[in-house]
């Protein structure tokens, strides 16, 4: 908007910027070098009605010419001609002579009329003045004149955008307002630095997602080589010659679906064809599918046309069926008119395959099927240039047609030549006798022929009979075989009928083990029965599903109406509610199909749930399904008493699951691997957070599931939304506006690493400021560690190898690996430390960062990385890493804090590592408070007593108080007596605690179990066991916090820890009033030692008991998540159990509706 792209790298003059009111970038890029085509548009408003002459275009033509020359300074003439084009749009009228001159310049000819020649000469002259060929420039330029006035254009645009939603509701108005505001901002002052309107901008303004625009994909199965039908020409003539919809009908197995695919290919040169698959590969009966609904089918068809640039899109809406069909008709009219104007095609052809299946499912659910609705509309009021074709079984056609007028076209079976062609592609060596037998037996039915090819020796070759066999007979033979096998196994007729009734009525896919449990059959018997129906009954990941419409139709028509079988199945499903998850989920839908209102009403008030459902969310979701089934049947029966009662219950149960959803969002990796099916469903359906949050979450989820193609799709979307956010960042509400955080960036970087794109991930981290890059890298390292533990990969090891190489330019990644408590060997740590030491010399220190860091996250990461470097590598590497940030010393408050959370530890650690990096022992002056200047006298302090005296002698200048006559400023003691004692005793305590670790570091000796034992002895002596938190002393709080930090270092770097010492430290942590988070940190380190796994399990149980005592439920859930994350390195089963407990705790709270 208003100029070239803000990302444009090509240097152009002011003329090119001035002339560009709007620029359209085609393709994937937003610069001239990256796009596939670029069109510059200028809009000019004319106030007078006098027809314009060439002078009206003078400045425009000159600036267009300058633009061409600017681009040719950096690109070849051919590239510019292939990419660049112009458009001039005005409401003014052009004179006939001007139009004649323009058309001649575009065609490369000269006008015959004198006045047109004058206009021609002026236009050519202005091009020559800019040293550009007039014919060349005008061939790149499109002129549009006599457009509507500004007010009319404004009204038209507003109407168009409102029409994108079906119905004029509040949602449509909000979308209109959002889009108008977007364009205004991009064209105004706010868009000067970001004038691009991208896909993410439009989706945000319209408040929808890409998958909402295309809700139903096509799922045709591959049938091999297709035979060209002679009926194709007849059907094509019928369709072209009819003003009414055409209904193609045929018996089962004739090949309606394959025929309409051929028909679509036949019409590609004459019509724009859209084929909608109502059968959906058999999934149309699934609970989560609703292909028959107008809000699914009409939106899919309309947006397929819109994606080809033929009409306006149709956005997801809550409008009723009348609003939707009205909106769909508008799209069809637009598409037809656009096709007529743009090309020589005859219009639009909409093909609805298996419309009868959509009608059946709609009837079962007491809903409206869009094929019948669209047919009625186009039958009653045809649209010029729009053809509608539907397919159906012969005997089910009338249920779709209803009162509509259609032209019926019967599709017959294969002719003899077609049968021969079919067999030649599948059995090239067929004899004339075999061919004759196959023709006689199949009567040209494609499904029968396919069966005969598969059983050639039995049914065709040799002396096989020539008796005709139909599709129904084939399927009946298979069913009879199953009957006989089950009879031999001892099953009665009623039980066998239940099997067929079950597979015909239960929602697909049907898990075989669940089907066996629900029917009280053995798994082998169910497997045998299902395999006998293959390949017409297909086994997929989650169970069996009909991919073959004739088989499904036969079984449904033959067995679904068995009342006794229906009731027996319903009763068995009801009896299996506690033991079978599938039975519990399938029963509500099953009751709708068999129209059992009384049983559904009783089920709605049932408290029986499968034992596998441990979460409140799962129970709530199942209860909603039961209530909805009862509600649907009550509406169908017009039982208004039940409708009212069920409506109230539905509103009560349909409460939010906000707290449980937040728990799942806290760790996407754990939810994906440790969560149950409900947790996964919630994760994938969660659309909360800023616009790109869902794509970031799904990037991680699909990455952990190993579905990298899906992960890449969501990664690209997340990147687009992140860029969109920062390009559109506003200052109106910087506090409350939600946006991407470190976890969103980490998701993108993590997938790059998972895809072995280390350089890409490294470049991103290297480009960000150190503090933010560290927060991202910390999350990435955690994800890599969890990926190793949960999937058995070596992702963390590969990342460490890359970070140790010269290819790594991100100091944040190296520091995060060193500072994390992940499972890296000393050799790996040494390699990373060496690489980090080299890279720090090229890295700008972050000490100049003036932003407030109250958590001291940067100092903490750098100090912990420096410790790892000095232990695993050298003092030099440690000193260089420390230089990355300012290492602040403890405050006076840190030594006097009685109940704090451990702010002293990081400054103490920094001070100690700073001394060790210089090969110095930590002494009193290293730990002096930040407020004390380190002088020679301070360095001379060598005992607690002398330190006390030194502190008491310190004075500070007291500023003169306002209003006092005395001009002299007084002096006062810097610390009072209590503060001096706290600081002296605190420093003495710290020196005693760090001495065991210091001895090992300065001697360059490994940290052994004797060092651990010595530290535990000193630490235990500084703690008082079993005291109340109100009785804590300052010294004890400091000992608790600093000791906890040192304990984590010993657990991380010690070569060996005995079980006795491990048990002692666990007892110390459990007996003292440490936080749950402290205990979780210790547990995460203990589980890394396989010899301590028994101890870790018992410790985890104690932590779980402590978590249960927490009255703050949200904190309890967060701690359970941390417990699961700690244990995942040791036992996935235990981690899963604790994760479920945490989710259950939060789900019990319900929503935020008080």
Name which of 306-320, 354-368, 689-703 the model is least confident about: 306-320
461 and 482 housed in the same domain: no
457 and 489 housed in the same domain: no
Classify residue 274: in a domain, yes or no.
Answer: yes
pLDDT of the residue at 892 = 82
Are 980 and 951 within 8 A, CB to CB?
yes
435 and 394 housed in the same domain: no
Per-residue pLDDT tens digits for 226-246: 777 888 888 888 998 888 999
Classify residue 597: in a domain, yes or no.
Answer: yes
Taking CA atoms, 125 is separated from 119, 133, 632, in Å, by: 10, 10, 76
Predicted confidence (pLDDT) at residue 967 exceeds the cutoff of 80: no
Per-residue pLDDT tens digits for 67-95: 888 888 888 888 888 888 888 888 888 88
286 and 399 housed in the same domain: yes
Number of domains in the chain: 4
Per-residue pLDDT tens digits for 461-506: 766 666 667 777 777 777 777 777 767 666 677 777 777 788 777 7
Phi, psi angle pair for 142, to nearest 5°: -115, 135
Identify which of 829, 827, 901, 902 has the alpha carbon closest to the alpha carbon of residue 865.
829
Residue with more model confidence, 896 or 407: 407
Q: How sure is the predictor about 762, in pLDDT bands with cuts at 50, 70 and 90?
A: very high
Classify residue 157: in a domain, yes or no.
Answer: no
Predicted confidence (pLDDT) at residue 745 exceeds the cutoff of 90: yes
Predicted confidence (pLDDT) at residue 864 exceeds the cutoff of 50: yes
Residue with more model confidence, 1025 or 878: 878
443 and 491 housed in the same domain: no
pLDDT of the residue at 811 = 92
Q: How sure is the predictor about 1154, in pLDDT bands with cuts at 50, 70 and 90?
A: very low
The mean per-residue pLDDT over the stretch 697-721 comes to 89
pLDDT of the residue at 46 = 76
Distance (Å, rounded) from C-alpha 853 to C-alpha 42?
50
The mean per-residue pLDDT over the stretch 949-967 comes to 71
pLDDT of the residue at 622 = 86
Predicted confidence (pLDDT) at residue 901 exceeds the cutoff of 50: yes
Name which of 731-735, 745-749, 805-809, 837-841 the model is least confident about: 731-735
Distance (Å, rounded) from C-alpha 322 to C-alpha 329?
11
Q: Helix (H, G, I), strand (E, B), or coil: what is residue 951? A: helix
Tell which of 653, 682, 714 closes a domain: 653
Percent of the chain residues topping a pLDDT of 90: 18
403 and 439 housed in the same domain: no
Q: Say which residue the tokens 């790109």 belong to.
A: 692
Name, of 61-75, 127-141, 585-599, 769-783, the range with top average pLDDT: 769-783
Residue with more model confidence, 495 or 977: 977
Classify residue 726: in a domain, yes or no.
Answer: no
Phi, psi angle pair for 546, to nearest 5°: -80, 115
Are 302 and 311 within 8 A, CB to CB?
yes
271 and 296 housed in the same domain: yes
Q: At 327, which CATH number?
A: 3.40.50
Q: How sure is the predictor about 1152, in pLDDT bands with cuts at 50, 70 and 90?
A: very low
Name which of 15-24, 330-339, 667-676, 999-1008 the model is least confident about: 15-24
Predicted confidence (pLDDT) at residue 287 exceeds the cutoff of 70: no
Phi, psi angle pair for 884, to nearest 5°: -70, -25
Q: Is the dihedral of CA 1095, 1100, 1105, 1107 positive or negative?
A: positive
400 and 484 housed in the same domain: no
pLDDT of the residue at 332 = 92
Q: Is the dihedral of CA 1082, 1083, 1084, 1089 positive or negative?
A: positive
Phi, psi angle pair for 562, to nearest 5°: -70, 100
Q: Helix (H, G, I), strand (E, B), or coil: what is residue 774? A: helix
Taking CA atoms, 875 is separated from 359, 859, 914, 966, in Å, by: 77, 18, 10, 54
Tell which of 102, 123, 147 closes a domain: 147
pTM of the model: 0.67
Interior angle at CA 196, CA 194 and CA 198, nearest 5: 130
Predicted confidence (pLDDT) at residue 164 exceeds the cutoff of 60: yes
Are 742 and 779 within 8 A, CB to CB?
yes
484 and 552 housed in the same domain: yes
Bridge partners, 44 (sequence order)? 90
Per-residue pLDDT tens digits for 590-625: 898 888 999 999 998 888 888 877 667 778 888 888
Beta strand 407-410 pairing with 246-250: parallel
pLDDT of the residue at 486 = 67
**Strands, DSSP E only, in 367-414?**
386-393, 407-410
Token representation of residue 1069: 């942590």
Classify residue 540: in a domain, yes or no.
Answer: yes
DSSP state of 165: S
- Give the range of the structural domain holding residue 84, as residue numbers without chain letter: 14-147
Decide: residue 911, CB within 10 A, 0-12 exposed, 13-18 middle, 19+ buried.
buried
Classify residue 172: in a domain, yes or no.
Answer: no
pLDDT of the residue at 656 = 46
Distance (Å, rounded) from C-alpha 1137 to C-alpha 1114?
18
Distance (Å, rounded) from C-alpha 820 to C-alpha 304?
49
Classify residue 868: in a domain, yes or no.
Answer: no
369 and 433 housed in the same domain: no
Distance (Å, rounded) from C-alpha 294 to C-alpha 369?
7
Residue with more model confidence, 309 or 183: 309
pLDDT of the residue at 609 = 85
Identify which of 10, 134, 132 has the alpha carbon closest to the alpha carbon of residue 66.
132
Q: How sure is the predictor about 993, in pLDDT bands with cuts at 50, 70 and 90?
A: very high
Per-residue pLDDT tens digits for 374-431: 999 998 899 998 999 999 988 889 999 988 999 999 888 877 777 777 777 777 777 7
Rounded to 10 degrees, the C-alpha dihedral 1003/1009/1010/1013 comes to: 130
Tell which of 410, 427, 457 closes a domain: 410
Q: Say which residue the tokens 């960062």 belong to.
A: 849
Q: Helix (H, G, I), strand (E, B), or coil: what is residue 413? A: coil
Identify which of 477, 540, 473 has the alpha carbon closest to the alpha carbon of residue 512.
540
Q: Say which residue the tokens 């070759």 belong to.
A: 461
Classify residue 201: in a domain, yes or no.
Answer: no
Distance (Å, rounded) from C-alpha 323 to C-alpha 332?
14
Q: Say which residue the tokens 């809550």 belong to.
A: 318
Please state, as a whole number, how many other Cβ atoms lie within 10 Å of the Cβ of residue 211: 8
Decide: residue 704, CB within 10 A, 0-12 exposed, 13-18 middle, 19+ buried.
buried
How much is the mean pLDDT over the chain? 82
460 and 481 housed in the same domain: no
643 and 537 housed in the same domain: yes
């Amino acid at each position: 908007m208003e100029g070239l792209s803000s990302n444009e790298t090509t240097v152009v003059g002011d003329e090119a910027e001035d002339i560009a009111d709007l620029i359209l970038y085609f393709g994937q890029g937003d610069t001239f070098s990256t796009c596939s085509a670029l069109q510059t548009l200028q809009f000019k408003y004319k106030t007078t009605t006098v027809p314009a002459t060439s002078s009206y275009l003078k400045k425009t033509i000159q600036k267009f010419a300058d633009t061409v020359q600017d681009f040719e300074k950096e690109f070849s003439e051919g590239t510019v001609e292939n990419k660049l084009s112009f458009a001039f749009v005005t409401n003014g009228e052009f004179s006939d002579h001007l139009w004649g001159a323009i058309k001649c310049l575009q065609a490369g000819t000269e006008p015959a009329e004198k006045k047109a020649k004058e206009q021609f000469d002026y236009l050519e002259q202005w091009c020559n003045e800019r040293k550009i060929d007039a014919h060349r420039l005008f061939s790149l330029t499109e002129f549009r004149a006599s457009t509507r006035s500004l007010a009319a254009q404004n009204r038209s645009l507003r109407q168009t955008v409102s029409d994108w939603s079906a119905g004029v509701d509040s949602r449509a108005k909000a979308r209109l307002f959002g889009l108008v505001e977007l364009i205004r901002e991009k064209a105004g002052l706010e868009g000067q630095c970001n004038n691009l309107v991208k896909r993410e901008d439009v989706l945000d303004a319209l408040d929808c997602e890409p998958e909402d625009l295309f809700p139903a994909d096509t799922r045709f199965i591959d049938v091999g080589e297709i035979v060209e039908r002679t009926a194709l020409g007849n059907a094509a003539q019928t369709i072209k010659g009819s003003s009414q919809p055409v209904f193609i009908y045929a018996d089962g197995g004739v090949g309606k679906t394959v025929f309409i695919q051929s028909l679509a290919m036949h019409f590609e040169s004459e019509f724009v064809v859209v084929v909608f698959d109502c059968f959906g590969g058999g999934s149309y009966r699934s609970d989560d599918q609703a292909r028959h609904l107008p809000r699914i089918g009409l939106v899919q068809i309309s947006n397929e046309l819109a994606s080809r640039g033929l009409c306006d899109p149709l956005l997801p809406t809550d409008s009723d069926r009348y609003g939707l069909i009205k909106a769909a008709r508008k799209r069809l009219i637009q598409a037809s008119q656009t096709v007529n104007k743009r090309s020589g095609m005859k219009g639009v052809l909409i093909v609805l395959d298996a419309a009868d299946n959509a009608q059946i499912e709609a009837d079962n659910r007491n809903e409206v099927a869009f094929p019948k609705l669209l047919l009625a509309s186009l039958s009653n009021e045809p649209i010029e240039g729009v053809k509608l074709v539907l397919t159906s079984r012969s005997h089910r056609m009338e249920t779709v047609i209803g009162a509509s007028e259609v032209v019926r076209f019967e599709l017959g079976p294969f002719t003899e030549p077609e049968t021969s062609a079919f067999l030649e592609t599948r059995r090239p060596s067929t004899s004339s006798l075999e061919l004759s037998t196959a023709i006689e037996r199949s009567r040209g039915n494609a499904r029968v022929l396919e069966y005969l090819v598969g059983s050639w020796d039995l049914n065709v070759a040799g002396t096989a009979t020539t008796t005709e066999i139909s599709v129904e007979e084939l399927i009946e033979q298979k069913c009879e075989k199953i009957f006989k096998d089950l009879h031999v196994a001892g099953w009665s007729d009623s039980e066998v009928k239940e099997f067929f009734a079950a597979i015909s009525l239960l929602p697909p896919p049907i898990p075989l083990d669940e089907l066996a449990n629900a029917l009280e059959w053995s798994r082998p018997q169910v497997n045998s029965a299902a395999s006998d129906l293959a390949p017409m009954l297909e086994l997929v990941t989650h169970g069996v599903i009909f991919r073959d419409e004739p088989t499904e139709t036969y079984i449904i028509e033959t067995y679904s109406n068995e009342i006794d079988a229906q009731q027996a199945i319903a009763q068995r499903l009801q009896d299996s509610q506690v033991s079978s998850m599938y039975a519990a989920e399938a029963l509500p839908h099953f009751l709708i199909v068999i129209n059992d209102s009384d049983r559904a009403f009783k089920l709605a008030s049932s408290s029986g749930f499968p034992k596998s459902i441990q979460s409140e969310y799962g129970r709530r979701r199942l209860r909603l399904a039961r209530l909805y089934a009862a509600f649907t049947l009550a509406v169908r029966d017009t039982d208004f008493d039940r409708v009212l009662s069920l409506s109230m219950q539905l509103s009560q149960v349909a409460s939010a699951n906000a707290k449980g959803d937040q728990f799942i969002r806290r760790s996407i990796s754990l939810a994906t691997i440790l969560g149950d099916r409900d947790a996964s469903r919630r994760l994938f359906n969660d659309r909360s957070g800023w616009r790109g949050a869902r794509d970031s979450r799904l990037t991680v989820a699909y990455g952990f599931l190993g579905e990298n193609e899906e992960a890449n799709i969501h990664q690209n979307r997340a990147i687009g939304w992140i860029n969109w956010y920062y390009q559109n960042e506003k200052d109106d509400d910087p506090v409350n506006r939600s946006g991407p955080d470190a976890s969103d960036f980490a998701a993108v970087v993590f997938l790059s690493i998972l895809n072995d794109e280390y350089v890409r991930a490294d470049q991103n981290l290297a480009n960000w400021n150190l503090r933010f890059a560290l927060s991202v890298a910390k999350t990435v390292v955690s994800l890599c560690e969890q990926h190793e533990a949960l999937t058995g990969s070596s992702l963390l090891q590969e990342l460490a190898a890359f970070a140790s190489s010269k290819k790594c330019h991100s100091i944040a990644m190296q520091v995060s690996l060193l500072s994390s408590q992940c499972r890296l060997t000393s050799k790996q740590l040494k390699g990373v430390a060496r690489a980090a030491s080299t890279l720090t010399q090229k890295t700008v220190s972050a000490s100049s960062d003036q932003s407030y860091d109250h958590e001291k996250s940067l100092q903490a990461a750098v100090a912990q990385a420096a410790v790892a470097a000095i232990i695993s590598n050298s003092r030099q590497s440690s000193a260089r890493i420390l230089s990355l940030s300012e290492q602040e010393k403890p405050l006076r408050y840190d030594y006097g804090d009685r109940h704090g959370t451990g702010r002293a530890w990081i400054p103490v650690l920094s001070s100690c590592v700073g001394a060790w990096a210089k090969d110095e022992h930590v002494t009193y002056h290293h730990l002096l408070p930040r407020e004390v200047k380190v002088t020679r006298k301070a360095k001379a302090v060598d005992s607690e007593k002398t330190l006390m005296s030194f502190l008491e002698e310190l004075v500070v200048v007291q500023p003169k108080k306002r209003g006092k006559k005395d001009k002299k400023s007084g002096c006062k003691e810097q610390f009072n007596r209590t503060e001096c004692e706290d600081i002296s005793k605190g420093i003495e305590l710290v020196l005693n605690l760090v001495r065991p670790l210091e001895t090992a570091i300065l001697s360059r000796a490994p940290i052994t179990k004797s060092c651990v034992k010595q530290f535990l002895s000193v630490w235990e002596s500084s703690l008082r066991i079993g005291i109340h938190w109100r009785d804590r002393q300052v010294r004890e709080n400091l000992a608790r916090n600093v000791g906890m930090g040192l304990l984590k270092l010993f657990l991380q770097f010690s070569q060996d820890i005995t079980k006795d010492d491990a048990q002692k430290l666990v007892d110390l942590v459990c007996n003292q009033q440490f936080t749950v988070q402290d205990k979780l940190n210790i547990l995460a380190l203990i589980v890394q030692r396989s010899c301590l796994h028994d101890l870790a399990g018992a410790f985890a149980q104690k932590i779980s008991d402590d978590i249960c005592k927490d009255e703050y439920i949200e904190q309890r859930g967060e701690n359970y998540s941390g417990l699961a994350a700690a244990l995942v390195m040791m036992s996935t089963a235990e981690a899963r159990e604790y994760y479920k407990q945490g989710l259950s705790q939060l789900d019990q709270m319900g929503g935020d509706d008080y």
